[in-house]
């Protein structure tokens, strides 16, 4: 069965520091990968997606993610974190031959001033 693992439940970084949130997926087929962000009291918003092609994808709000098939990973990065980036981040995977997308458990990001 398809699954998504976000190993870090909670991450704290200082404002201006770089950020990397980890995501690993498990399945044999070619995945479609997504990162979503959820601010407190809000619904989820798509940050970026990978379908095919260039393995480094750019998203909104200065985020990027790199697909590494050999590591089954799709880690989210940002070179310099802003206080407004404090939120919960979800990685998700979908497949054309599956009936649904699968979401990870989320990583909560806290930004220190």
> Which residues in this chain contact other proteins in the complex, by CB under 8 A?
32, 34, 36, 42-46, 49, 51, 90, 92, 94-96, 98-103, 105-106
Of 95, 96, 58, 90, residue with least CA distance to 77: 58
Closest distance of CB 34 from other proteins, Å: 6
Closest distance of CB 45 from other proteins, Å: 7
Unique residue bearing structure tokens 């009291």: 41
Closest distance of CB 50 from other proteins, Å: 11
Q: Distances from the Cα of 49 to the Cαs of 69, 90, 102, 105, 113, in angstroms?
A: 15, 12, 14, 18, 29
43 or 113: whose CB is closer to other proteins? Answer: 43
């Amino acid at each position: 069965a398809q699954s998504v693992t976000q190993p870090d439940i909670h991450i704290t970084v200082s404002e201006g520091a770089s950020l990397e949130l980890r995501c690993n997926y498990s399945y044999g087929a070619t995945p479609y990968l997504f990162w979503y962000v959820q601010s407190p009291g809000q619904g989820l918003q798509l940050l970026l997606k990978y379908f095919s092609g260039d393995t480094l994808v750019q998203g909104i709000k200065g985020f990027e993610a790199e697909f590494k098939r050999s590591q089954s990973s799709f880690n989210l990065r940002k070179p310099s974190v802003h206080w407004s980036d404090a939120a919960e981040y979800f990685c998700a995977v979908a497949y054309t031959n599956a009936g649904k997308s699968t979401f990870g458990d989320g990583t909560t990001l806290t930004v220190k001033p």
